[in-house]
Structures are given as structure tokens and as C-alpha cells.
Amino acid sequence: MAEKDQKEDQAGEGASTEKHASSKLGVGALLRTEREKKGLSHQQVAEMTRLRRHLIMALEKEEWDELPAPVFVKGFIKSYAKALGLDEKKVLELYEEPPSVEPEMPKLLEPEPRTGRVRFFFPVVILAILAGLIFAWYRYSPREKAEAPIVAQEKPVSRSMEKKQKVSLSQKAAPVEPLEKKRGEEAARPLPQKEKAPPQVQAPLKEEQELPAEKKLGVFPEDKMRAGSALVQSNVQEEKMLVLSGFVKGRTWLSISIDGAEPKEYIFQPGSRPQWKAKQGFDIVVGNAAGIDFDFNGKKISDLGELGQVVRLKLPEKPKETGRE
């Protein structure tokens, strides 16, 4: 009997230690350890909860900045805890608990060294150094050296001026012909004859007034026929497109994949009315089922679920196959 009591006490102590350890863990660490205990991967949990893989990793790492609003995060945690078989309320309480802050140890104040003399002599030394630098700059400033090249440049300037004066004097010394002689020479020169322009030949009016053959026969060109057929084809394609409209009632996170392409994520505010078009269909994941209604090709889809509930839709829905007798 004594041995049985000891074993029961040890088992109770082990269970209490496990509870204490789980209470110390955060939400992300608790979910990660439970997932690893059951041997599940992130992809398997994503298929079970219908959540994206990066959202599950962000929950385990507690990267709240990478996640949407807390209302949606609570819905994700509920789905994750339910998939692992945990108590949803306890996990949510662990998420809502404020983080524990360790008290900071007070720092010991060290006595400051007495540096009164050093503080007094330090500015005096700096002022003395500055005064010496200013005196040296005034004493040995390169003013005389800078004036030397200015004097040396006066000689080439004077030579160029002399050359210009010589050229102007030679131009003045050239004899000037009388104006009367120039006028006589210009009068003696024969004037150039103007070239006669070739006579313009006018085309017969009958050929100019002829209409194109297309207008006479009433036949449309090929370009107009092609443009008309292209417009008809585009109108037919627009009629075949699937249109999905959303009516947002509350803040909602949404992920949508159009025609099997890479899904895109959105966070809509109340009053938003997004719209998408597709040829084949839509694959939708809604983070807040009570926050949005849809209109799919004129058919209203509402009452998707409760507040914070994660719902997945596939439009258009494939018809269920029935067995033949």
C-alpha cells in the first residue's frame, strides 16, 4: 500500500509539473510543442485548419505584426487548438494574458571621479592651440605668392593688345576705292535671266472626280469586317466571365485564388464592395464569416458563419456525382 501511494504521489507531481511547464509556455510555443508531439507538419495542419502555411508559422513564432487584427487571430488560434485537440478557451486565455515583465535590478551608482582641475585646464589648452593656429595662418598666409602670377600675366596681355593695334592700323592704311567706280562696275554687269517655269499640265477632271471602287459597289473593306468580328468575340467572352461581388459588413481578412492562380490576401473595412472576375472559378478563405456577404452571378450568398469563424468557399460548386443503378 505504501508503494502504491508513493507511485500515485510521483504521478501527481509529474502531472503538476507538466501543467506548470505548459502555463509558462506562450501560445506559439504551446501550439508548436503539441504539433511536434503528434508528429504533424505545417502543411498537414494547414490542410486540417484551412489556414495558410505562413499564418501557422507566424502563430507559432508569435509574430503578431505579420498577422491581421486580433479578432481574426483569435479565430485562427481556435481552429489550430481544435485541430490539435486542445482546450480552446484555455489557449485563448493564454493568448490574452499580458506578457510577464522581469523586474529590472537597480544599478549601483558609482562615485564620479574628481576632475575639477582637468575640466579647468582643458578649455585653456584648446584656446591656446586655436590662438597659435590663427597666428600662424596670418603670419604665413600665401598672399605674396598669390600676387606673383598676376604680375606675370600682364606681359602676354600687352602683346596681344599690340597685335590687335597693328592689325587695325594696317586696315586703316588700305586704300579706299571710290563709290562711283563701284557703282559703274555694278551697272556694267549683266543681270541674270530668270528661268522660265515649265508649264503645268492639268489632269483631266474625269479621273479626279472618280470615286473608289469600294464606294461604288457598296463593299466594306476587310479591316472593318475584322474589327466587327473582334468586337463580337470580345462581347461573347465578357458574357462568359464569372463575376463575384462582396459586401463587407465588418472588418474581414480574405484570401482568394482566381482560376487556380496564386492566392491574394486582403483586409477589408466595413462598407467595402470588392469585385473579381474569372473564367473558371474562385477559391476563397474568409477569416471572419459574419463580416461579409457575396453575390455570385446574381445569386446572393449570405450567413456564412459566426464572428471570427474561418470559412472556405469554392465557386462555382461542382455538382455531386450520383451512382447509376
Give, in order, the Cα–Cα distances in Å from 3 to each of 14, 112, 149.
17, 65, 112
Contacts of 156-162 spanning 24+ positions with Cβ under 8 A: none
C-alpha–C-alpha distance, residues 107 and 130, integer Å: 41
What's the CATH code of the domain at 46? 1.10.260.40
- Domain ends where: 45, 79, 96? 96
pTM of this prediction exceeds 0.85:
no
Angle of helix 70-84 relative to helix 53-61, nearest 10 degrees, comes to: 90
Least confident span in 55-69, 231-245, 300-314: 231-245
In degrees and rounded to multiples of 5, residue 112 shows phi and psi of -75, 140
Range of the domain at 293: 237-315
Overall average pLDDT of the 77-82 stretch: 87
Would residue 73 count as lying in a domain? yes
- Classified as helix, coil or strand, 254 is strand
Closest CA to 275 of 251, 294, 298: 294
Would residue 118 count as lying in a domain? no
What's the CATH code of the domain at 286? 2.60.40
Predicted pLDDT at 215: 44
312: cell is: 472556405
Would residue 44 count as lying in a domain? yes
> What is the percent of the chain with per-residue pLDDT over 70, rounded to a whole number?
52
- Domain ends where: 78, 96, 114? 96
Q: How many domains does the chain have?
A: 2
Q: What does the angle CA 258 – CA 263 – CA 266 come to, to the nearest 5 degrees? A: 105
Mean confidence (pLDDT) of the chain = 71
Closest CA to 283 of 250, 308, 316, 306: 316
More confident residue, 86 or 155: 86
Would residue 152 count as lying in a domain? no
In degrees and rounded to multiples of 5, residue 244 shows phi and psi of -120, 125
Would residue 204 count as lying in a domain? no
- Domain ends where: 68, 96, 124? 96
* Residue 317 pLDDT > 90: no
Would residue 148 count as lying in a domain? no
Q: Quick one: pLDDT band at residue 16, thresholds 50, 70, 90?
A: very low
C-alpha–C-alpha distance, residues 17 and 23, integer Å: 10
Would residue 72 count as lying in a domain? yes
Overall average pLDDT of the 40-65 stretch: 88
User: What is the residue whose three cell numbers read 504551446?
Assistant: 30
277: cell is: 472576375
Would residue 213 count as lying in a domain? no
Pairing of strands 264-268, 311-315: unpaired
Query: What is the DSSP annotation of 167-195?
Result: HHHHHHHSPPPPHHHHHHHHHHSPPPPPP
* Residue 33 pLDDT > 80: yes
Predicted pLDDT at 223: 57
Least confident span in 38-42, 151-155, 168-172, 249-253: 151-155
